[in-house]
């Protein structure tokens, strides 16, 4: 919540809050208006004066200071980089790289962001936003967007398939920016390119509909559709970059995704009709190494998997997929098909596919404001 609202909730004037901190009223107003960003130590003082947790008050500033929000959160806890690394289970050098480059390690099974959120006592979306807003991440996105636009240009060429190969300079540059093998990035880029190619084709049809419209109403309606499509196409390269960087940074391991596929298949009605799905369960013994990472995973702020103790005194465990876990499966299964092409992941049906399609680019690219 904004600092001004928190101050009003505490029934304090700007002058009264300034007096508690030993600063000026103008400084407090500048904080509230966004003209100045308080340092981590000052945020702690503000939080103490307002009776709030320091981390929660720091969130609205989103790390606009020189070191980024992750560094500010660590300093608020009084931790060294070594201590923060110990809390999330990585080496000191790996943690330093996270703070410096906003790049999550691939060996974390996609759960490092959740571990950071738990360690700092903030929502997972706060960590996602901190990583997204980091200057190093912004530079990577800008560079990747230039390469994607160059690759997407071929989608406009008629009578020629729009296909990228793994030895092209722009593709190799994308692989370097994502830290992933060129072959994997190539498969994902070609998938996104085919989606963009369909948009180009739809735009061509919309232009023909305008040219041959039989009424003014129809012509205006088609022009509005064409305008919306143009906006989507203009935004497509940056959206693609956001999606690729997010997905590749937090993708499940093969074993975790295999568990999700088994749970999704078991949740489908026997006749594969479009009826309501019944979230399935699997025993701990199915893959003991996969469950810890899956329990740490969330989508839209809710867990993908829930633990349900069974047996005498809860001596054995089963793991149930949640409804939001099934949504995550449907949203990401096309991308995972290119990441793990040998593992077939069937659709859960038209109803959930339609809903999940609306979520895909919204929640798997830019963190919502």
For residue 171, being part of any structural domain is answered with yes
> Can you tell me whether residue 106 is helix, strand or coil?
helix
Q: Are 17 and 28 in contact (CB under 8 A)?
A: yes
Q: Which residue has better confidence, 198 or 64?
A: 198
What is the reported pLDDT for 331? 86
Among the ranges given (90-99, 158-167, 292-301, 332-341), the one the predictor scored with the smallest mean pLDDT? 292-301
Question: Do you know the residue count of the chain?
Answer: 369
Based on the fold, state whether residues 228 and 269 are members of the same structural domain. no
Based on the fold, state whether residues 51 and 82 are members of the same structural domain. no
Q: What is the pLDDT of residues 115-142, one digit of tens each?
A: 888 888 877 777 888 888 888 888 999 9
Domain boundary residue, one of 250, 277, 296:
250
For residue 305, being part of any structural domain is answered with yes
Q: What is the pLDDT of residues 232-270, one digit of tens each?
A: 999 888 888 888 888 888 888 899 999 999 999 988 877
Domain boundary residue, one of 197, 227, 250:
250
Could you tell me whether strands 316-321 and 305-310 are parallel, antiparallel, or unpaired per DSSP bridges? Answer: antiparallel
Based on the fold, state whether residues 119 and 210 are members of the same structural domain. no
Asked whether the whole model's pTM tops 0.85, one would answer no
DSSP code per residue over 1-17: --HHHHHHHTT--HHHH
For residue 307, being part of any structural domain is answered with yes
What is the reported pLDDT for 73? 79
What is the reported pLDDT for 175? 93
DSSP code per residue over 242-287: HHHHHHHHHPPPHHHHHHHHHHHHHHS-TT--SS-----EEEGGG-
Cα(320)–Cα(282) distance, integer angstroms: 7
Based on the fold, state whether residues 218 and 145 are members of the same structural domain. yes
Strand extents, DSSP E, the chain? 281-283, 298-299, 302-303, 305-310, 316-321
For residue 67, being part of any structural domain is answered with no
Cα(54)–Cα(69) distance, integer angstroms: 12
For the chain, how big is the Rg over CA atoms in Å? 24
Cα(150)–Cα(254) distance, integer angstroms: 31
Inter-axis angle of helices 182-211 and 323-339, nearest 10: 100
Q: Given CA atoms 41, 46, 50, 55 in this order, what sign does their dihedral have? A: negative
What are the φ and ψ backbone dihedral angles of 319, each rounded to 5 degrees? -120, 125
| End-to-end C-alpha distance for the chain, whole angstroms | 13
Q: Which run of H or E residues covers position 154?
A: none
What is the reported pLDDT for 253? 87
User: Residue 368 above 50 pLDDT?
Assistant: no
Q: Which domain holds residue 41?
A: 1-61
Burial of 100 (0-12, 13-18, 19+ CB in 10 A): middle
Which tokens hold the place of 318?
């089963």
Q: What is the pLDDT of residues 173-199, one digit of tens each?
A: 999 998 889 999 999 999 999 989 999
Q: What is the pLDDT of residues 12-46, one digit of tens each?
A: 898 998 998 889 988 888 877 766 767 667 777 88
Based on the fold, state whether residues 274 and 181 are members of the same structural domain. no
For residue 109, being part of any structural domain is answered with yes
Based on the fold, state whether residues 125 and 151 are members of the same structural domain. no
Based on the fold, state whether residues 38 and 90 are members of the same structural domain. no
Which tokens hold the place of 231?
């906006």
Chain mean pLDDT for the chain = 83
Cα(4)–Cα(342) distance, integer angstroms: 54
What is the reported pLDDT for 61? 47
CA-nearest of 67, 104, 68 to 89 is 104
What is the reported pLDDT for 350? 67
Q: Provide the number of structural domains found in the chain.
A: 4
Residues 212-220 have a mean pLDDT of 92
Residues 325-346 have a mean pLDDT of 90
Could you tell me whether strands 302-303 and 298-299 are parallel, antiparallel, or unpaired per DSSP bridges? Answer: antiparallel
Which tokens hold the place of 125?
């979306």
Based on the fold, state whether residues 350 and 328 are members of the same structural domain. yes
What is the reported pLDDT for 164? 94
What is the reported pLDDT for 96? 92
User: Residue 343 above 70 pLDDT?
Assistant: yes
> Can you tell me whether residue 299 is helix, strand or coil?
strand
DSSP code per residue over 61-75: GTT-STT-HHHHHHH
Based on the fold, state whether residues 264 and 357 are members of the same structural domain. yes
For residue 113, being part of any structural domain is answered with yes
Q: Could you tell me the CA-to-CA distances from 78 to 5, 37, 41, 129 in Å, in that order?
A: 27, 20, 10, 22
Based on the fold, state whether residues 242 and 270 are members of the same structural domain. no
User: Residue 147 above 70 pLDDT?
Assistant: yes
Q: How many CB atoms are closer than 10 A to CB 328? A: 25
What is the reported pLDDT for 63? 45
Cα(104)–Cα(113) distance, integer angstroms: 8
Domain boundary residue, one of 250, 272, 306:
250
For residue 265, being part of any structural domain is answered with yes
CATH code, domain carrying 52? 1.10.260.40
Based on the fold, state whether residues 319 and 221 are members of the same structural domain. no
Based on the fold, state whether residues 243 and 267 are members of the same structural domain. no
For residue 300, being part of any structural domain is answered with yes
User: Tokens 């590749």 — which residue?
Assistant: 248
């Amino acid at each position: 919540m904004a600092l001004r609202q928190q101050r009003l909730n505490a029934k304090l004037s700007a002058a009264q809050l300034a007096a508690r901190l030993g600063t000026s009223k103008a400084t407090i107003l500048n904080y509230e208006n966004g003209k100045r960003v308080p340092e981590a130590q000052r945020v702690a003082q503000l939080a103490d004066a307002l009776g709030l947790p320091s981390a929660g008050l720091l969130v609205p500033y989103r790390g606009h200071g020189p070191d980024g929000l992750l560094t500010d959160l660590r300093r608020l806890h009084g931790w060294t980089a070594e201590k923060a690394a110990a809390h999330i289970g990585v080496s000191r050098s790996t943690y330093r790289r996270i703070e410096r480059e906003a790049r999550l390690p691939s060996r974390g099974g996609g759960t490092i962001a959740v571990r950071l959120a738990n360690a700092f006592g903030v929502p997972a979306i706060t960590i996602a936003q901190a990583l997204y807003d980091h200057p190093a991440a912004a530079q990577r996105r800008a560079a990747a967007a230039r390469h994607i636009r160059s690759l997407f240009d071929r989608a406009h060429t008629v009578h020629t398939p729009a296909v990228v190969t793994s030895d092209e300079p722009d593709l190799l540059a994308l692989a370097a920016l994502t830290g992933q093998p060129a072959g994997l990035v190539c498969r994902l880029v070609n998938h996104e390119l085919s989606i963009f190619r369909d948009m180009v084709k739809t735009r061509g049809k919309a232009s023909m509909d305008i040219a041959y419209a039989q009424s003014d109403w129809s012509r205006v309606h088609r022009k509005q559709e064409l305008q919306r499509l143009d906006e989507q196409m203009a935004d497509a390269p940056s959206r693609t970059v956001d999606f690729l960087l997010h997905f590749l940074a937090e993708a499940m391991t093969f074993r975790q995704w295999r568990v999700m596929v088994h749970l999704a298949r078991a949740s489908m009605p026997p006749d594969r009709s479009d009826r309501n799905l019944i979230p399935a369960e699997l025993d701990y013994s199915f893959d003991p190494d996969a469950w810890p990472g899956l329990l740490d995973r969330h989508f839209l702020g809710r867990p993908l998997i829930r633990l349900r103790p069974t047996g005498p005194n809860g001596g054995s465990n089963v793991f149930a997929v949640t409804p939001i876990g099934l949504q995550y499966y449907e949203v990401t299964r096309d991308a995972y098909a290119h990441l793990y092409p040998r593992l077939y992941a069937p659709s859960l049906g038209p109803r959930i596919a339609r809903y999940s399609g609306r979520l895909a680019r919204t929640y798997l690219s830019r963190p919502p404001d």
